[in-house]
Amino acid sequence: MSFQGDSIFWVELDKIVPNPYQPRREFDEAKLKELAESIRMYGVLQPLTVTRRERSRDDGTFFTEYELIAGERRLRASKIASLSQVPVIIRSGEQTEQEKLELAIIENLQREDLNSVDRAIAFQQLAQIFNLTHAQIAAKMGRSREYVSNTLRLLALPEYMLSSLQKGEMTEGHARALLMLADRPEEQDVLFREILLKKISVRESERISRKIATDRVRKKEWKGSDPTLIEIERKLTETLGTRVQIKKTDFGGTVSIDYFDPADLDKILDMIEKRERAAGPTSQIPVPVSDEVSLANEAISETLHEEAAEANEVLAKLAENTPLEAADSSMVSSDNLPAIDNLVVPPALDTLVIPPALDNRDELPTLPEKDESDMYSVGKFTI
C-alpha cells in the first residue's frame, strides 16, 4: 500500500464516505464548531487520507467513491463550514477491512485524538473481528503488550462509567482505580460517585481501592461462616451511600463508616437521626438471660411459693372447727394474745387466711415450731 505519489488532490465533499471502522465514537460539538471557524479562516491545513473505489450503479454505469481512512473531524468541520471540496491524499492498492481499521487507529493514536474508551473499542475490534493477539496489536500500534491489555480492561467497567470516561468527567487513572473493585459493585459505585462529586484525586482513589481490596482479603476468613454480616454491610453501604465496613471480633465487633469531608459526616448523621425519629419511641425489650440464671430464678420462685403454701396451711388450721368452745376461758387472757402488729405475713396475700377474732378465748393453739434457718428476706416481707 502506498500513497498515489506525493500529490494532494481536491475532492468534492459529497464523494467522501465515512470509514465503517472509524474508532472515534465521540465528537465534541463545541470543538467541531471551533475547528469549522478555523477552517473558514485558514482552510484545511492537513489533508484527509482516503482510498479510491470504483462503484457501479443500477444502470450499469460506474462512479468514483472515496472512503475516508483518517480525518473525520476535519471532514465534519468542513461540512459545518460549508466547503464544497477538501484536500486529500489518496492511498493506492487494495486495502482490506483490517488495514483500514489499523490505519484509522494509528492515525488517531499519532494525533492523540482518541479517548481511552474509543481506543479500547478499536483494540477490541482488532482482537475479535480479525483475531489478533494483544502482542500483535501492540506490534502494529507501536505500543507495549501491557499497554494494549490494560486498555482493553477498561471495557469491564459499567456503561455509565465508560460514558463518564468518554466525556472527560474522570481520567483513565480514576477508571483503573475503579477496576480494582470490579467484584464489589456497590462499593465501586460509591467510589465512582465520590470521584465525580468530590473531585478526589487519582492517588486518593487508588488508596481507597487498595484499602477495600485489603479488607476483602480479611473478610475471606469469616465470610463463609457468617454471611449475614456481609448482607448487613451491603445494605448499610446502599442506605448511607458510602462504604461501610463491619469487623468481627471474638467479643462482638465494630462498624466503620467512611466519609470524605465534614459535609459527608453531617449527611450521614442526619440520615441516622431521621430514621431514629421515624421509628418513634422504642418499646421495652426483655433482656435475654442465660439458661443458668433462668433456672436459678425458677428454683427460687418455686421455693418461695412452697414456703408460703406451708405457712398458709398452718394458719388455715386455726380456722377449722377445733374444740375452742370447750376450752377453759381462764386459760385465755389478753396478756397471752400476740400483738397483731407483729404478725408475720407470708407474701402470698391473695391466699392468706386470717384466723377469726380471738375475743373471749382462753388459749391460742400452739403453732408448731419451724426451722428458721432457710428463711429469705424479700422486700418488706419475711418468709
Q: How many CB atoms lie within 10 A of CB 77?
A: 24
DSSP letter string, 22-42 = -------HHHHHHHHHHHHHH
Question: What angle do the packed helices 134-141 and 116-128 form, to 10 degrees?
Answer: 120
In DSSP terms, 246 is beta-bridged to 255
CB-based contact 181:187 (threshold 8 Å): yes
| Helix or strand run (H / E) with residue 16 | strand 16-17
Query: Mutual orientation of helices 172-179 and 202-219 as an angle, nearest 10°?
Result: 0
Distance CA 241, CA 194 (A): 10
Say if residues 66 and 105 touch (Cβ distance below 8 Å): no
CA distance 233 to 311: 59
Please report the DSSP string for 93-162 in residue order. S---HHHHHHHHHHHHHHHT---HHHHHHHHHHHHHTS---HHHHHHHHTS-HHHHHHHHHGGGS-HHHH
All three cell numbers of 94, joined, read: 487494495
Give the pairing type, strands 48-56 and 62-70.
Answer: antiparallel
Which residues are tagged catalytic?
72
27: number of Cβ within 10 Å: 11
Question: How far, rounded to the nearest angstrom, does the alpha carbon of residue 186 sit from its chain's CA centroid?
Answer: 3
CA dihedral for 20, 23, 26, 27, sign (positive or negative):
negative
**Distances from the Cα of 191 to the Cα of 116, 173, 183, 209, 217, angstroms:** 20, 13, 13, 8, 19
The answer to whether residues 364 and 358 touch, using CB atoms and an 8 Å cutoff, is: yes
Helix (H) or strand (E) holding 278: helix 262-279
